[in-house]
Amino acid sequence: MKSVIAAAFVGMMALSACAPEGPKLGPDGQPLPELYTITKKDAEVIPQRVLESVNSLRAARGTAPLVLNPSLTAAATAHSADMAAQNRPWHWGSDGSSPLDRAKRAGYPGEVVGENISETYETEIQTLSAWMGLADTRDVILNPAASQMGFGWFQEPSGKIWWTLVTGR
């Protein structure tokens, strides 16, 4: 009889190990966020995914679409890494450079229209959504004067991501 009970107990333990785990909850009872790690595959599609999202938002406002510009993307990526090195989200580079200076340095021949920055653990789409929730950053995304966009990021080993979006014409 003891062997039957032991076998049943082992069987129940084995089955319980197969049960899917629910989300881990924080002290407020809400699910804890999962770490968003940008893989090489993600890195290949993020700029296009953001561009498509931005252009959908612009289309809803009757504003012309943007195109990705490699020079603006290089400036955005460099600034994201620089913000991480400085450990603060702001529009000035560690060398005192402005968004205009960085775009020019990256070879952009046009005029910079605006720049959005963020320090977060959120995805690029969650970050874009947060920018759309604030008038000043929303205005950068929807500005009808803009015709081009650059988008870059830097992810720290901790998972923190520094995002930069630059628009120009």
Is residue 73, in this structure, part of any structural domain at all?
yes
Among 26-30, 60-64, 65-69, 156-160, the range scoring the smallest mean pLDDT is 26-30
In-domain check, residue 23: no
Q: Is residue 76 part of a domain?
A: yes
Residue 50 located in a structural domain: no
Domain that holds residue 158: 69-86+93-168
Residue 19 banded pLDDT, cuts 50, 70, 90: very low
Q: Identify the burial level of 51 via C-beta atoms within 10 angstroms of its C-beta, where 0-12 means exposed, 13-18 middle and 19 or more buried.
A: middle
Is residue 111 in some structural domain? yes
The 10s digit of each residue's pLDDT in 83-97 is 999 999 999 999 999
Residue 34 in this model has a pLDDT that exceeds 90: no
